[in-house]
Amino acid sequence: QKEVEQNSGPLSVPEGAIASLNCTYSDRGSQSFFWYRQYSGKSPELIMSIYSNGDKEDGRFTAQLNKASQYVSLLIRDSQPSDSATYLCAVNQAGTALIFGKGTTLSVSS
């Protein structure tokens, strides 16, 4: 059974702080790794994708991948109240369906 594990949270951080979200996955054959943001009642929105070990930065977001440890993380710098949402970690092999974690709820207080 392929699984993706995330802490459900809620993770609470003050505005301007760094939010750190973590994810582990069970399938060593996983090739693609994604972070989606989902607001209540809305569908997921892709915010980061990463395919190789190391860091990938995009604006305030940094994704980190360590395939040896089967670990993916997302850092959100200068967190804003608008970042409050559920963050879904997802993995797959090329072209196949995504396997989602249950999501981590982030709350950023102003």
Partner 1 sequence: GAVVSQHPSWVICKSGTSVKIECRSLDFQATTMFWYRQFPKQSLMLMATSNEGSKATYEQGVEKDKFLINHASLTLSTLTVTSAHPEDSSFYICSAIASGGAVLYEQYFGPGTRLTVT
Q: Which residues bind partner 1 (CB under 8 A)?
A: 31-32, 34, 36, 41-46, 49, 51, 88, 92, 94-103
Query: Using an 8 Å Cβ cutoff, are 93 and 31 in contact?
Result: yes
Least distance between partner 1 and beta carbon 15 (Å):
25
Closest among 22, 19, 30 to 6, alpha carbons compared: 22
Give the integer Cα–Cα distance in Å for 3 and 89.
Answer: 11
When the beta carbons of 58 and 78 are compared against partner 1, the nearer one is: 58
Q: Which sign does the torsion angle of CA 109, 81, 38, 64 carry?
A: negative
Least distance between partner 1 and beta carbon 8 (Å):
10
When the beta carbons of 17 and 98 are compared against partner 1, the nearer one is: 98
Least distance between partner 1 and beta carbon 52 (Å):
13
Q: Which residues contact 23 (CB under 8 A, 6 or more apart)?
A: 4, 5, 6, 71, 72, 73, 74, 89, 101
Least distance between partner 1 and beta carbon 12 (Å):
18
When the beta carbons of 73 and 92 are compared against partner 1, the nearer one is: 92
When the beta carbons of 68 and 97 are compared against partner 1, the nearer one is: 97
